Amino acid sequence: MKTSSASIGETDSQLGSRIINCLHAKSIPELASIQLDVRDGSVVISGTVSQTSVQRHCYECCRHVAGVKNVIDRIKIRESKKG
């Protein structure tokens, strides 16, 4: 899991930490492939996961963390290879 913040303010860092803690607490699979960008209470989540349910859980977890004003979901679903 990677986080970045344009304004290296303590508030954004703390918010990013709370979001990461929430994702860990919810045992979100594929967490290592998710990136967060936190700026002034707005959160952009991105990365690639294998299932829509993982994408949805990440979005909902971010949305419910105190201090989050907006969540932009840029997570992509990996296409499954059918043989």
**Span 53-82, pLDDT tens digits:** 999 999 999 999 999 999 999 999 998 776
Q: Are strands 34-39 and 42-49 parallel, antiparallel or unpaired?
A: antiparallel
Q: Which residue in 80, 74, 35, 77 sits closest to 54, CA to CA? A: 77
Angle between helices 52-63 and 10-25 (to 10 degrees): 130
CA 28 to chain centroid, in Å, comes to: 10
10 has a pLDDT exceeding 90: no
pLDDT band at 29 (very low <50, low <70, confident <90, very high): confident
List domains and CATH numbers for the chain: 2-77 (3.30.1340)
The amino acid sitting at 40 is: D
